[in-house]
Amino acid sequence: MDRGEIWRIAMEQSALELGCAAEDFLREENAVVPLGLGPGSRSYYEQPIGCTLVSYGNNIVAGTEEGCRRAVEEYLSRYEFYHCFETPNLHWLDGRLRAVGQRVCFMAEYYLPDLEKLRPLGHAKIDLSVRWVTKQPDGLYLQSRYGTLRLSPVGSAIVRVSFLRGGQPDGTVHPAIAVDRTDKFWMYKDTGKLVELTTDELLLQVDKATGAVRYLALTEEEDSAGRAKPRLLLAERPRECRQLETAADRKQRTWLYLDWARDERLYGFGMKGQPSVSLRGGARYISQQGGDGLPFFLSDRGYGILAATEHPAFVCDIPAYGSYLYTENHRQMDFYFIAGKRQETILKAYAYLCGTL
């Protein structure tokens, strides 16, 4: 798949949702068509919709109901297409639409991944084998030749995971994170092959030979020794599970390589804040438009991951490139693993971390 094919697929999807032809987005002049949500439209689109304006950088294609058509046509003739998504111009359109019982509402900007970003940077051998382990007030530190991994339990079902290449992770939290605490009720043990961190609800196992982490939920079932049986939620890739590089453009980039289960479902968030965008089998940005919330995705296996960065982040799940979480413009890898039996519980934990609960 090349860049041209990605653009073609995106324009065909938009054409389905406007009732136009994909070629309309390549015309030099604007186009106004009767709005018609076709089969295959995104699930969170619901009628009634008065009008929708879409641009791929050449013009604007507007799908409108008949009552809005005149106002939209006048609007597109009044301003250059690249100024039609800006205020105060949008205020003019809003005023005209009020007369027919409509208002300007959602506005979203979508980014098509750069294929160069999908291919992880080449690198020398990454040695993540654990050389020493120490418990400190802010978490468990695991040192390797490549860098330092810190596991900081925030609560019994939330663990902050930080990694810095060639140094110690920064202890300060991201400005958008409202919770700055380390839970006191956790313990760890070194079994020789594994380092295990345990809370009341979670068991994190770090393979000392590879540095890869397995995230398990403690269930109510007990084994023969009377200990809670763990259930695997997520596993990092056994070989070279994390990578931090400074690219030629001087941007810091991070890759967290993950082994998702074959039948596992991952979801990003749509325009209404609901987990409705599938992340399997492709590459999608999970960054929130306009900085409204931190990047976050949800799994049907009972966990979510919140990336502590305001910069671009996406999830890739393409065999040719690998399965990973990518972030950029950040000095360290920094994310929160959130477990929960119900989706509602995970979303409340996300809101708790962001100070919106």
pLDDT for 274: 64
- Of all residues in the chain, the percent with pLDDT exceeding 90 is 73
Banded pLDDT at 139 (limits 50, 70, 90): very high
Listed residue (220, 257, 239) closest to 333, CA to CA: 257
**Torsion of the alpha carbons at 339, 292, 182 and 161, rounded to the nearest 10:** 60
pLDDT for 116: 74
- Read off the pLDDT of each residue in 134-159 and give the average, rounded to a whole number: 97
- Of all residues in the chain, the percent with pLDDT exceeding 70 is 95
Q: What is the CATH number of domain 132-354?
A: 2.60.40.1760
Residue pair 187/202 in contact by the 8 Å Cβ criterion: no
pLDDT for 160: 98
User: φ and ψ at 292, to 5 degrees?
Assistant: -85, 80
pLDDT at 271 over 60: no
- Read off the pLDDT of each residue in 269-283 and give the average, rounded to a whole number: 75
Report, in angstroms and rounded to the nearest whole number, the Rg of the chain calculated over CA atoms. 23
**Mean pLDDT, all residues of the chain:** 91
Whether residue 312 has a cis bond before it, omega within 30° of 0: no
CA 49 – CA 66 distance, rounded (Å): 11
Reported as a single tens digit per residue, the pLDDT across 336-354 is 999 999 999 999 999 999 9
CA 285 – CA 214 distance, rounded (Å): 24
Of 114 and 49, more confident: 49
pLDDT at 291 over 60: no
- Read off the pLDDT of each residue in 242-252 and give the average, rounded to a whole number: 84
What residue has token string 């089969």? 39
pLDDT for 329: 74
- Read off the pLDDT of each residue in 137-146 and give the average, rounded to a whole number: 97
CA 143 – CA 336 distance, rounded (Å): 20
Strand (E) positions, 208-332?
213-222, 228-236, 242-246, 252-259, 266-269, 275-278, 283-285, 296-299, 303-307, 313-318, 322-328
- Read off the pLDDT of each residue in 106-130 and give the average, rounded to a whole number: 82
CA 220 – CA 224 distance, rounded (Å): 13
Helix (H, G, I), strand (E, B) or coil at 81: helix
Listed residue (35, 34, 13) closest to 25, CA to CA: 13
pLDDT for 259: 97
pLDDT for 292: 65
Q: Domain spans of the chain? A: 3-107, 132-354
CA 343 – CA 61 distance, rounded (Å): 37
Banded pLDDT at 6 (limits 50, 70, 90): confident
The first and second tokens of residue 247, run together, are 């690219």
CA 219 – CA 31 distance, rounded (Å): 57
> Would you give the end-to-end CA distance of the chain in angstroms?
41
Reported as a single tens digit per residue, the pLDDT across 194-217 is 999 999 999 999 999 999 999 999
User: φ and ψ at 4, to 5 degrees?
Assistant: -60, -40
CA 97 – CA 95 distance, rounded (Å): 6
